[in-house]
Amino acid sequence: MGSIVKREWGRLSDGRLVNLYTLENASGMTMRVTDYGCIVVSLTARDRSGQFADVVLGFDSPADYEKTPRYFGALVGRYGNRIGHGRFTLDGSPVTLSLNNEPGGVPCHLHGGKEGLDKKLWMAESVERESAVGLKFRFISPDGDEGYPGELDMTVHYWLTDADELRIEYEAVTNRPTPVNLTHHGYFNLAGHDAGTILDHEIVINADHITPVDKGMIPTGERMPVEGTPFDFRQSRRIGDRIDERNDQIQFAPGYDHNYVLRGWNGALRSALTLHEPTSGRTMEILTTEPGIQFYTGNFLDGTDVGKGGCVYPFRAGMCLEPQHFPDSPNKADFPSTILRPGDVYRQQSVYLFRAE
Name the residues annotated as catalytic: 185, 322
347: nearest Cα among 295, 287, 269, 272: 269
C-alpha–C-alpha distance, residues 117 and 139, integer Å: 9
Angle subtended at Cα 120 by Cα 102 and Cα 98, rounded to the nearest 5 degrees:
30
C-alpha–C-alpha distance, residues 74 and 92, integer Å: 33
C-alpha–C-alpha distance, residues 10 and 238, integer Å: 40
> In the chain, what are the helix, strand and coil shares in percent, each to the nearest 5?
10, 45, 45
112: nearest Cα among 104, 100, 102: 100
247-250: list long-range contacts, CB under 8 Å, 24+ apart: 249/210, 249/212, 249/213, 249/224
- Torsion angles phi and psi, residue 287, rounded to 5: -115, 145
Q: What is the DSSP string of 66-95?
A: HH-SS-TTEEE-SB-SEEETTEEEETTEEE
> Do residues 42 and 29 lie in contact, with contact meaning Cβ atoms separated by under 8 Å?
no
H and E: helices and strands count for the chain: 2, 30
> Which ranges of the chain does DSSP label H, i.e. alpha helix?
62-67, 248-252
> Do residues 215 and 252 lie in contact, with contact meaning Cβ atoms separated by under 8 Å?
yes
